Amino acid sequence: MHNKSKIQNLFMLIGAIAFVLMIYKIGIRTITDNLLKIEWWIIPILALWVLVYLLNTLSGLMIINNLENLRHIGFFQLYKITLSTFAINTATPMGLIGGEPYKIIELSPYLGSNKATSSVILFSAMHFLAHFIFWMLSITLTLVIIPLDLTWKIALSTSFIICLLLFNLTLKGCNKGIINSVFKCVKRLPPLEHIVTKFIEKNKNNIQIIDSQIKGLQNNNPTIFYATLIIELPARIISCAELYFLFIAYQTPIKFIDCILIMAFTSLLANILFFMPLQIGTREAGFILSMKLLGLSPTLAITISIVTRIRELFWMIIGIILIKIK
């Protein structure tokens, strides 16, 4: 219990540092100016993400309930853990390095370490699969709706093919054992070969157990598997309403489908450059490029990006505080 408290404090410290850095990066004056401009629209924007996190939690709970658990975990307890996980992911470079280990630690008393690990990996897989579907749909819509030059058409078509390949690869990984598959790939890298081989030999039984639990959901209960994926997808669409509200607040009417295209392009670029701490620069670039395609100004793109970061700051601090609340 003492070690768990230390780990929680470490995650809180990482989150707090990231929070301060983000405020410093944006600037308090910029934050207050933008909040004054959008006025009461900040309320529905923040409220939207309550629903997004609810859907994320529901998806996670369906995965967890499919396992034989040591103790029952309630919906709101998992909701709290989900919020803190996303807050830590926002704060740490390469996202999953921070949030997912924290989630495993928090779920272990309820599921045991192996089942906690498999449930978190499965949830992450569902999250990625939903993103791949969202990106592929958005790329298709972009190619159909927006007049593009040949360079853009080639770039987007290539992105679609890559997303489709990664979607199938993730799906096969869930079906055949994603942990073993990942370690086999990593083992081929000369600098890591010896370390990974030693780790696999030492943890062979645990890896087999975790992989069998991951395979079990898709093979033995495909209804739950695809239901969690279906629940994750609307969360991506709902998050696009944030942009729709912001465009209304800044008196720039825009179609909701355009908001989907902007959000898809921005999130795709952010995930490609996942190693950037706090996604500094990547989100702004995503907004500028996608909004330029729709004939919208770069200045407005930067402004929209700043407000999404303000929303992110709000939920980050909530998630960080919840780490220490039982």
Q: What pLDDT was estimated at residue 242?
A: 92
Which tens digits make up the pLDDT trace of 192-204? 667 767 766 776 7
Inform me whether the pLDDT recorded for 125 exceeds 90: no
Three-state secondary structure along the chain? CHHHHHHHHHHHHHHHHHHHHHHHHHCHHHHHHHHHHHHHHHHHHHHHHHHHHHHHHHHHHHHHHCCCCCCCCCHHHHHHHHHHHHHHHHHCCCCHHHHHHHHHHHHHHHHCHHHHHHHHHHHHHHHHHHHHHHHHHHHHHHHHHCCCCHHHHHHHHHHHHHHHHHHHHHHHHHHHCHHHHHHHHHHCCCCCHHHHHHHHHHCHHHHHHHHHHHHHHHHHCHHHHHHHHHHHHHHHHHHCHHHHHHHHHCCCCCCHHHHHHHHHHHHHHHHHCCCCHHHCCHHHHHHHHHHHHCCCCHHHHHHHHHHHHHHHHHHHHHHHHHCCCC
Q: What pLDDT was estimated at residue 4?
A: 56
Which tens digits make up the pLDDT trace of 230-289? 888 888 889 899 999 999 988 888 889 889 988 888 888 777 765 555 556 677 788 888
5-14, 36-45, 69-78, 294-303: least confidently modelled range: 5-14
Q: Rounded mean pLDDT of 51-65? A: 91
Inform me whether the pLDDT recorded for 175 exceeds 90: no
Which tens digits make up the pLDDT trace of 72-124? 788 999 999 999 998 888 777 655 566 788 888 889 888 888 888 888 888 88
Record the pTM.
0.82
